């Protein structure tokens, strides 16, 4: 999880708050932009690759871009109307139609097989919802019910795959995750800010995947606080997988 001290000092910028949690979605597309085009702004801002439509902010899932095929592109659901990088400054607030890097006029499409509130495609890139103010549960944030093949454990050092949950544990993970109340990443971040997380990967039937980070002490994952059964399951599978890998 990225906790860049420079970003912390630039308070109030929603786009930078996204960067603090981007690893939980498997994203690594952070880029620096020297800004001087907004008044007297000379701040150096690190942007996560985001876009916003319908009050939902999405982060780019870089790992899965190459898997996007034309037959996965659905109906148009929006269009980029503002590019933040190179234009916004430290008082920036995201609005619908905003994107970090995508040019103005870039169409945004639904991804077939998923609700557009969960995944969209723009410029042949996959964007996945990080926050959704209308979601009341993880099932409403993540459109993955009946679509998961397995849960994996990734390395916290380099992100590489270490091993997989058993089929039974993978199924149980989804069953325990989706009913959780969605409270948002800002709330869970307050409890997990100084904690190292357990890197999990959710593998889907269409061949794509995404990362979630579980914080044991806070019992937090993806904008929700977990239950004791979920925590027990994750930690038991983590121990089993690491032991089998000789770690």
Q: Dump pLDDT digits (tens) for 201-245.
A: 999 999 999 999 999 999 999 999 999 999 999 999 999 999 999
Q: Which domain holds residue 128?
A: 1-133
Q: β-pairing, 82-83 with 98-99?
A: parallel
Shared domain check, 185 and 127: no
Shared domain check, 148 and 38: no
Angle, nearest 10°, between helix axes 228-244 and 167-177? 150
CB atoms near residue 136 (< 10 Å): 11
Shared domain check, 127 and 10: yes
Confidence of residue 137 (pLDDT cuts 50, 70, 90): very high
Residue 98 scores a pLDDT above 80: yes
DSSP state string for 119-132:
EEEETTEEEEEEE-
User: In the structure encoding, which two tokens stand for residue 148, read together?
Assistant: 């998961």
CA nearest to 207, candidates 100, 76, 55, 67: 67
Q: How far apart are CA 132 and CA 121, in angstroms?
A: 17
Shared domain check, 229 and 144: yes
Mean pLDDT of 150-166: 95
Residue 90 confidence (pLDDT): 77
Strand, coil or helix: 242:
helix
Shared domain check, 46 and 72: yes
Q: How far apart are CA 176 and CA 179, in angstroms?
A: 6
Domain-ending residue, one of 118, 133, 148: 133
User: In the structure encoding, which two tokens stand for residue 28, read together?
Assistant: 């690594």
Shared domain check, 94 and 168: no
Q: How many domains does the chain have?
A: 2
Residue 41 confidence (pLDDT): 64
Residue 65 confidence (pLDDT): 66
Q: pLDDT by residue (tens digit) across 164-192?
A: 999 999 999 999 999 999 999 999 999 99
Shared domain check, 146 and 126: no
Domain-ending residue, one of 116, 133, 150: 133
Domain-ending residue, one of 109, 133, 157: 133
Q: How far apart are CA 195 and CA 188, in angstroms?
A: 11
DSSP tally for the chain: helices H, then strands E? 6, 16
User: In the structure encoding, which two tokens stand for residue 138, read together?
Assistant: 């993880």
């Amino acid at each position: 999880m990225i906790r860049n001290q420079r970003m912390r000092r630039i308070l109030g910028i929603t786009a930078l708050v996204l960067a603090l949690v981007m690893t939980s979605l498997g994203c690594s597309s952070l880029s620096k932009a020297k800004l001087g085009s907004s008044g007297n702004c000379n701040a150096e801002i690190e942007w996560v690759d985001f876009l916003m439509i319908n009050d939902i902010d999405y982060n780019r899932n870089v790992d899965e871009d190459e898997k996007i095929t034309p037959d996965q592109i659905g109906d148009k659901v929006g269009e980029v109307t503002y590019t933040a990088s190179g234009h916004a400054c430290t008082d920036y607030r995201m609005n619908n139609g905003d994107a970090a890097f995508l040019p103005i006029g870039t169409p945004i499409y639904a991804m077939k097989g998923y609700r557009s509130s969960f995944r969209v495609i723009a410029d042949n890139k996959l964007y996945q919802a990080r926050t959704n103010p209308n979601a009341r549960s993880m099932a409403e944030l993540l459109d993955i019910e009946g679509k998961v093949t397995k849960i994996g454990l990734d390395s916290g050092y380099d992100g590489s795959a270490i091993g997989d949950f058993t089929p039974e544990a993978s199924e149980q993970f989804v069953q325990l995750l989706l009913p959780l109340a969605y409270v948002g990443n800002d709330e869970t971040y307050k409890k997990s800010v100084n904690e190292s997380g357990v890197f999990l990967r959710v593998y889907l039937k269409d061949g794509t995947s995404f990362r979630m980070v579980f914080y044991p002490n806070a019992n937090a994952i993806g904008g929700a606080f977990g239950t004791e059964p979920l925590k027990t399951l994750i930690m038991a599978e983590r121990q089993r997988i690491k032991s089998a890998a000789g770690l």
